[in-house]
Amino acid sequence: MTAVGQTGGRRWRFSVRPTPRPARALKSLQLPAFWLLGLILLAGLARLGGILRADLAKYPVATTSAIILFAVYAIPFWLFIASMDFLEREPPLLMATAFAWGGAVATTAAIPGNQAVHDLLAKLISPAFAATWGPAIAGPTIEELLKALGVVMIVLVARKQINSVLDGMVYGALVGLGFQVVEDIVYAVNAVSVSGRGDGVGPVVATFFLRGFLAGLWSHTLFTALAGAGIAWFLVRTDKPVWWRAGGLAVGLGLAWLTHFIWNSPLFADGIGSGAAGVLLGMLGKGLPALVMVLALVWVARHREAHFYVAHLAALHDPAIATPGELQIMGHGHLRADARRYGKARCGRAGERAVRGLQTAQARLAVELSRVSHLDPADALLIYCRDEVLAQRQRLVALGHPEAIVSPCRPAVPRIVVLGALGAVLLVLLIWQAIRSMHAA
Amino acid sequence: MVAHRLLRNLAGGTAVLAALLVVVFGLPALNRAVPNDRSLTGQQRYEVGAGVSVQPPPSARIDASKTRPGADRAAVLFLLGAVRYAIVVTPFDGGIEDAAGRLRTKIKATQGYQVTGDEDGVRTASGIDGLAGGYTAPGRCGRYAVFLTGGVSIEVTVSGAEFELGQVISGIDASIDSIAYGGGR
């Protein structure tokens, strides 16, 4: 290493607060909040276990099917959320904790809370008002609060792991995902109970389709990602005045509440216009703006974080560590994927693996560089990370593909845009077909 | 410095725990403190929901926390002193025997509740056919009826101590007789 990696970019310099070197997971054991979190999680898991045990005793086939179906459903969501933060990955245990909070604590606490708010609305205003607006008021107010508390708890036990707005979104989304999955399981078993036709999987599949598929893209995962962004903004942007940070926090929490409120509200519940197209339009009108807003926020947060870390590698001015071409693609997930495909096209599976290895090693070195205040030539961890990058580079050189870049013959329209557009069209068609089938039934 | 940090951490954790406790125990306690029953205005027909309406018994109040009007399914709980008179409307595409069986299963699912005697055919003033029977519970007795019309089942349950039930049963019978679906009266 020939230069000190102290840059951090320009406007995104304050967007990331790297985890300091001395931060260690075991230090969390000294924190009172860690033990409180453990107790709360145990209580939540016990309550959830009680609910699921009762369901299993009554409807064993339906409950087991619901658990399996929604557990599988959670996998792609989890993978997507985990991949959002490629450069500075979050500790798996902390990610699992966030998921468990959403699934076991927030859900079980929301049941009595939602019921109480709903009943209070019925008593203080009217049963008709509670039936119409109860879900829109009780749901966001109680559930968003409980899920946001999960992100706050993550902050209390591992403050140093919240380095950027993106980290807050990752933990928020995982809390929301846990909530979404467990809530869907409970709804599926309720549907079996309401149908009054014994232990069948029909209502489970219908619920999976309705809640997982039609409503799943703009549900709790998305709402709590917004709350997580607000909390992380407050923590990370210490360069801003407190009122500005508090404003960001309020905007994040407010948007989480608002998007949830709009989705639960009776407005356009029967769609905009008539028929299946009207229902589809109503659903997209309520859910799509929130989805687009969150994806845009993820895009901005990812790029700010990527620029921050890539700037540390760039400051080394060492093409053996990262060439200008590699630095250019490092902050973009689809370009990294294109580089791996190009490696595979030129050198087969070994080429793909070598490119992936180099990208991972470069990311680790970038993160480690950001964690030191000055470059010590004898820093064992930095030397290890640098040697890992050089070893991966050697693998590529040996394969005759020395640089992990995208193909020069790459199409003008990025593959991700084409796939994304096709996926969106397919999704809309499937939802439309599903709504038409339901109308016909 | 370290002690200060730990104290702040403890305060933060305790605040989260306190917020959880408020939601889990505080809100339900507040809910219990607010009275459930609401008086009905005059003696107008009551729109239960899902297309079903009924003439409430004289002097009945409704339990707002157990009343759920809705377009597809609905419920209302009338209170006449300690006597509870509930109507639940749900979508149903089976036969009357299936609907009656489902209601019997629900009743028997409550600890100590037993269905007694045979079921008899009944018909409301608006011409909705159904089945009616009786059940007992510790210290209480009850009646049930189920009607099928327009793709919905209308489940009626009445329960109370024998003496109190005897005082109001004629009004409840008249109310059950007034159950109508759609525009019927």
pLDDT at A234: 94
What integer is the mean pLDDT of A337-341?
A: 91
pLDDT in tens, A10-58: 555 556 777 776 666 677 788 899 999 999 999 999 999 999 999 999 9
A430 pLDDT exceeds 60? yes
What integer is the mean pLDDT of A247-255?
A: 96
pLDDT at A322: 92
Contact assignment for B12 to A33 by CB distance below 8 Å: yes
pLDDT greater at residue A24 or residue B97: B97
Structure confidence at residue A3 as a pLDDT band (50, 70, 90): very low
A390 pLDDT exceeds 60? yes
Structure confidence at residue A5 as a pLDDT band (50, 70, 90): very low
pLDDT in tens, B45-62: 899 999 999 999 988 888
Residues of B in contact with A112 (CB under 8 A): 23-25, 27-28
Contact assignment for B17 to A36 by CB distance below 8 Å: yes
**How many angstroms away from the CA of B17 is the closest CA of chain A?**
8
pLDDT greater at residue A295 or residue A218: A295
Phi-psi region at A157: left, alpha or beta (left = phi > 0; alpha = psi -120 to 50): alpha
* Least confident among A21-25, A90-94, B103-107, B119-123: A21-25
pLDDT in tens, A256-312: 999 999 998 888 776 676 666 777 777 778 888 888 899 999 988 888 888 888 898
List Cα–Cα distances, A251 to A11, A154, A258, in angstroms.
21, 20, 10
pLDDT at A22: 67
pLDDT at B102: 87
Contact assignment for B34 to A124 by CB distance below 8 Å: yes
B184 pLDDT exceeds 70? no
pLDDT in tens, A361-381: 999 999 888 888 777 778 888
A150 pLDDT exceeds 90? yes
Residues of A in contact with B38 (CB under 8 A): 123, 126
A156 pLDDT exceeds 90? yes
A1: nearest Cα among A355, A414, A343, A369: A369
Contact assignment for B30 to A116 by CB distance below 8 Å: yes
| Residue written as token pair 């470069």 | A362
**How many angstroms away from the CA of A197 is the closest CA of chain B?**
9
Contact assignment for A112 to B36 by CB distance below 8 Å: no
What integer is the mean pLDDT of B106-119?
A: 83
Cβ of B19 under 8 Å from any chain A Cβ?
Answer: yes
Tell me how far apart the alpha carbons of residues A368 and A125 are, in angstroms, rounded to a whole number: 57
| H or E segment and range at residue A362 | helix A333-371
**Cβ atoms of A2 and A316 closer than 8 Å:** yes
pLDDT at A440: 56
| Residue written as token pair 């505080």 | B26
Cβ of A417 under 8 Å from any chain B Cβ?
Answer: no
**How many angstroms away from the CA of A56 is the closest CA of chain B?**
16
Contact assignment for A149 to B16 by CB distance below 8 Å: yes
pLDDT greater at residue B33 or residue A218: B33
Phi-psi region at A336: left, alpha or beta (left = phi > 0; alpha = psi -120 to 50): alpha
What integer is the mean pLDDT of A174-188?
A: 94
pLDDT in tens, A267-280: 877 667 666 677 77
**Cβ atoms of A224 and A144 closer than 8 Å:** yes
> Of B17, B76, B90, which is closest to A40 when you measure between CB atoms?
B17
Tell me how far apart the alpha carbons of residues A407 and B13 are, in angstroms, rounded to a whole number: 51
Residues of B in contact with A110 (CB under 8 A): 23
Cβ of B21 under 8 Å from any chain A Cβ?
Answer: no
Contact assignment for B28 to A112 by CB distance below 8 Å: yes
Domain B37-181 has CATH 3.40.50.10090: no
B183 pLDDT exceeds 80? no
What integer is the mean pLDDT of A186-198?
A: 83
Structure confidence at residue A220 as a pLDDT band (50, 70, 90): very high
Taking the alpha carbons at both ends of chain A, their separation in whole angstroms is 68
Q: pLDDT over 70 for what percent of chain A?
A: 91
A255 pLDDT exceeds 90? yes
- Domain ranges across chain A: 25-280, 315-410
Q: pLDDT over 70 for what percent of chain B?
A: 96
pLDDT greater at residue A10 or residue A182: A182
Handedness of CA B33, B37, B41, B45 (dihedral sign): positive
Tell me how far apart the alpha carbons of residues A134 and A129 are, in angstroms, rounded to a whole number: 7
**Cβ atoms of A430 and A205 closer than 8 Å:** no
Cβ of B30 under 8 Å from any chain A Cβ?
Answer: yes
Output the average pLDDT for chain A: 87
pLDDT in tens, B69-87: 888 889 999 998 889 999 9
Cβ neighbours, 10 Å, residue B35: 11
Structure confidence at residue A4 as a pLDDT band (50, 70, 90): very low
Please give the interface size between A and B, counted as residue pairs whose CB atoms are below 8 Å apart: 96
Torsion of CA A42, A43, A47, A50, to 10 degrees: 60
pLDDT at B41: 67
* Least confident among A44-58, A384-398, B155-169: B155-169
Cβ of A115 under 8 Å from any chain B Cβ?
Answer: yes
Give me the residues of A, 6-45, that contact B with CB < 8 A. 30-33, 36-37, 40
Q: Is A342 exposed, middle or buried (0-12, 13-18, 19+ CB in 10 A)?
A: buried
Q: Kindly identify which residue of chain A lies nearest to residue B15, measuring between CA atoms.
A: A149
Token representation of residue B173: 């019978």
Tell me how far apart the alpha carbons of residues B163 and A206 are, in angstroms, rounded to a whole number: 46
pLDDT greater at residue A77 or residue A195: A77
Instruction: Spell out the alpha helix ranges (H) of B62-161.
Output: 96-108
